Structure 1
Amino acid sequence: MSRHYDVETVRKEFPVADRMVYLDSGFQTPLARPVMAAIETFLREGLETAGPKSVWLDRVEQTRAKVARLLGVSADEIAFTKNTSESMNIAANALPLRSGDNVLMIHGDHPNNAYAFLNLKKKGVQIDFLPMTDVVNADTFLPHIDEKTRAISLSYVTFHAGHRFDIESIGALCADKKLYFVVDVMQAIGVVPIDAKAIQATFVGSGSHKGLLVPQGLGLLYWDKARKELEPAYLAAASLAESPQDFIARPDRLAPAPSARRFELGNFNLPAVHALGASLDMIEHIGVKNIQNHCFDLGDHLIAQLDELDVSLVGPRQRQHRSPHIYVVGLPATEWLSYFEENGVRVSPERDGIRVSFGMFNTVADVDRLVHLIRRRRSRKSFRAA
């Protein structure tokens, strides 16, 4: 049962939930029936008609509008990319950073966010990493900002222990100090409400194979269109304001598109865009806040059970500082991962233990099964020790 929506009905859309206890949505969500149906529609149309491309491209724009609605922005501020890493690299290279400029980041955040900016060191840009703590907000960054600081970049939710950073206060700080603000929302989107305007982000990047329920290979990029000075590091006909209809390049017409299309490079991952359109319909129907609150309830239940077992939780415990859906249990992955797998529970190894990550389809019974397995194995160990 859920206090927020009919989770049992949602669960029926995820066949994997009948085959295993799937607690690994922070790695990749399982395929849902409506998402698979959208991909099959695309494939069938390609098989039977060789592709109604104009129809497919219309659906791309419909999906773009759905993404925009999810993030509280306009459709012309959304670009489709390959994945989160590409989105972050596009953002990093669009910022007008020069030798001597400084970017602030958090140590231990996702490496592909860091590498996008570390690659700028060859241009003389300095990257400073601040320590990760359970609470990261504007006060974390303020003492480190000086006249050379030009940008702050970080994740909204961390992948390895579920920290949820106060990006609204950090965004306000960036606005006050006239800094660019780049946010990776891969582990938040689809589960945690995101208002890109409220956080005053310059760029927001994400993939779509976690909370957005889509197979790998599709990314998203929000660009604040008021930042007209930010242009792509690379160019294609599709990213121009005037794409040549005769497909002859014209060196005197290189102005980028006024929309986020300036950051796109031609053909789309059409099957994944179709899938995303279907998944966004599911998410909108349930409501992101409802998904968030349902996952918070599961997390509260997990933490209470771990406390009873005297098993530690890695990362923040309070709702205001933790993600609703990512929890790392303080059990050595080398000793426990295969045990869970053998007993039909899918989780991930993480830096300091076993990562449990919920999706919209998980239930209290899933948590109880995990806890039961922990209790059973520990009791057996105690018995053998005696």
Structure 2
Amino acid sequence: MSTQAEFRSLFPVFDRRIYMDIAARAPLSRPVRQAYDAWLDDWQGTGGTKDQWMAALERTRGKFARLIGAKTSEVAFTKNVSEGLNIIANAIEWRAGDNVVLCPDVEHPNNIYVWLNERRRDVEIRIVKSDHGRVRPEDYFAAIDDRTRLVAISQVSFAPGRTLDPTPIGKFCRERGIFLLVDAAQSAGVMHVDVEAMNIDALAVSSHKAILGPYGMGFLYCRQEWLQRMQPVYLARYSVLVAESDHEEVMGTFSYQLPNDGRRFEVGNYNYSAAIATEAALDMLLEAGSRTIEAHVLNLADTFTKGLEAAGLEVCSGRRDDGLCQMVTVGQWGSGGHYSSDDESLTRLFELLLENGVTLSLRRGLVRFSLHYYNNDDDIQKVLSLVKSTN
């Protein structure tokens, strides 16, 4: 297993900047760059071999399954989180009067619009309210009734940055035949995920955030018991069951069958270069281990949180005993149940940090720092020194 220092050395960005923006995108690592270069060299020099690309694709599928504790057959390739969420939303057989339960206060818009779109099928959207960005399993339980078909949550909210354990929600839903869908854009790759232990029915993720891969690719996990009941809204050659020996141009018969695995959701050719690059990223994560990564990152986040509070800033993200994650956000609660975006001092802080070589984000009026296994205590202390210099 590589050490944390060895892991960090794979990211040239740290020669120039302090990178604290994994919640937006991953910096490019040497292994991911090398995988891209090798693929391009092969394509340019030989025209490429599709059989080899397909083999790499299946390795990547299996490695993502290992990362989240799933079966390889339960994983589908997507373009991004949004496509994964939409696949599930459109594969469920809705009945007029069904409802979806979610908390818009803490969800990314892409995990809201997809459900608003289901109102065309007379599906009700049941709203859970947060308490200053904090939402509890009990809040979801209270909103669920006998017409609830699906509960949509994020394991880690993109703002204000808090962990919500899917396990009790998943148990509650499973006992009632309700589907639990998890947006893992901000968790898979940096927080430990075990879809079986957490009672998750489906999980969507993009490769360009905590998985440390490129844009343009994602994964969708769907539990086997649900998967075989799902009817995909799109259909193409790769999403139907044919003999393995048949070339992709072989039509087969009009009486097609859907495979009992994630391929039923896959349409057309794949983003082979992104899959091959993501395999390199997954190798890094699997070698380090998700529990090791999470423990390291939470220790940093805890130290950072305490340091920012000592500097007189209001931290809005989780704490060690309540929702701590890889994100640390600074801001203040405004009127109307949202964080205030009118604090000029926060904008000045954000701009000062950018000017001094810190990469971070400003989201919903919050200064957002987000960490991964490549960050270390030196990063934390240097940023805290910059913060203190503004007071």
Pairwise TM-score range, normalised by the shorter structure: over 0.9
Q: 2:108 corresponds to which residue?
A: 110
Question: Is 2:212–2:281's contact at 8 Å kept on the other side of the alignment?
Answer: yes
Q: Which amino acid aligns with 2:390?
A: R
Query: Is the contact made by 1:207 and 1:218 (CA closer than 8 Å) also made in structure 2?
Result: yes
Contiguous gaps of at least 5 residues in structure 1: 379-386
Distance of 1:322 and 1:155 partners within structure 2: 14
Give the counterpart of 1:361 among 374, 378, 386. 374
Which SS does the other structure have where 1:100 is aligned? coil
Amino acid at match of 1:326: M
Find the counterpart in structure 1 of residue 168 from structure 2.
169
Contact 2:302 2:324 (C-alpha < 8 Å) held by counterparts: no
- Map of 1:337 onto structure 2: 350
**Counterpart for residue 317 of structure 1:** 319
1:170-185 pair list within 5 angstroms: 170-185=169-184
**SS of match in other structure, 2:328:** strand
Cross-structure match for 1:383? none
Identity %: 33
Which one-letter code corresponds to 2:116 in the other structure? L
Post-superposition shift, 1:315?
2.6
- Out of 298, 305, 308, the residue aligned to residue 306 of structure 1 is 308
CA apart distance, 1:305: 1.0
Which of the residues 7, 12, 23 maps onto 2:20? 23
Distance, in Å, in 1 between the alignment partners of 2:248 and 2:90 is 30
What letter corresponds to residue 376 of structure 1 in structure 2?
S
How far apart are residue 352 of structure 1 and its match? 3.4
Query: Which residue pairs with 1:375 in the alignment?
Result: 388
Residues 125-180 of structure 1 show CA distances to partners (whole Å, capped at 9, x for unaligned) of 11112012355343112222222111101111001121111200000011011101
Instruction: State the shift of 1:6 in Å.
Output: 2.7
Residue 156 of structure 2 aligns with an amino acid whose one-letter code is V
SS of equivalent residue, structure 1 residue 172: helix
Q: Residue 136 of structure 1 contacts residue 166 of structure 1 at CA under 8 Å; is this kept in 2?
A: no
- Change in Cα spacing, 1:38 to 1:245, as seen in structure 2 (3 Å) is closer
1-side partners of 2:137 and 2:19: how far apart?
A: 36
Q: Determine the structure 2 residue equivalent to 1:57.
A: 54
* TM-score relative to the length of structure 1: 0.93
> For structure 1, which segment, 111-120 or 129-138, has the greater mean C-alpha deviation from structure 2 after superposition?
129-138
Distance, in Å, in 1 between the alignment partners of 2:48 and 2:58 is 17
SS at match of 1:146: coil
1:68 to 62, 65, 85: 65
Mapped pair 1:149 → 2:148: yes
5+ unaligned residues in a row in structure 2: which ranges? 332-342
Quick one: which amino acid aligns to residue 12 of structure 2?
P
String of CA shifts for 1:239-260, please: whole Å, max 9, x gaps.
Answer: 0113775736567323222111
What amino acid is aligned across from residue 257 of structure 2 in structure 1?
A: A
Mapped partners of 1:79, 1:176: distance in 2: 26
**What corresponds to 1:273 in structure 2?**
275
User: What SS class does the counterpart of residue 126 from structure 2 fall into?
Assistant: strand
The alpha-carbon distance between structure 1 residues 44 and 124, as it changes in their structure 2 partners (threshold 3 A), is same
User: Which residue does 1:160 correspond to in 2?
Assistant: 159
User: Is the partner of 1:314 in helix, strand or coil?
Assistant: coil
Residues of 2 paired with 1:87 and 1:126: CA distance? 21
Partner of 2:328: 327
Give me the whole-angstrom Cα distance separating, in 1, the residues matched to 2:202 and 2:255: 26
TM-score (norm 2): 0.91
CA separation in 2, counterparts of 1:258 and 1:158? Answer: 32
Q: Give the distance between the partners of 2:368 and 2:134, measured in 1 at CA.
A: 20
Q: Distance in 1 between matches of 2:248 and 2:190?
A: 44
> 1:267-318, CA deviations, whole angstroms, 9 ceiling, x for partnerless residues?
1111111111111111111111111111111111112211221211013223
For 1:60-112, what per-residue CA distance to the aligned partner results, in whole angstroms no more than 9, with x for missing partners?
11111111111111111100000000000001111111221101011221110
For the aligned residue pairs, the C-alpha RMSD in angstroms reads: 1.8
Are 1:225 and 2:238 counterparts? no
- Residue 202 and residue 367 in structure 1: after superposition, are their counterparts in 2 closer, same or farther (change >3 A)? same
**Does the 8 Å contact 1:78/1:220 carry over to 2?**
yes
State the shift of 1:350 in Å: 1.7
1:241 paired with 2:254, answer no
Conserved? CA contact 1:181–1:203, under 8 Å: yes
Q: CA deviation at 1:13?
A: 0.6
Decide whether the 8 Å contact of 2:62 with 2:72 is kept in 1.
Answer: yes
| Alignment-mate amino acid for residue 296 of structure 1 | L
Once the two structures are TM-superposed, the CA of residue 57 in structure 1 deviates from its matched residue by 0.6
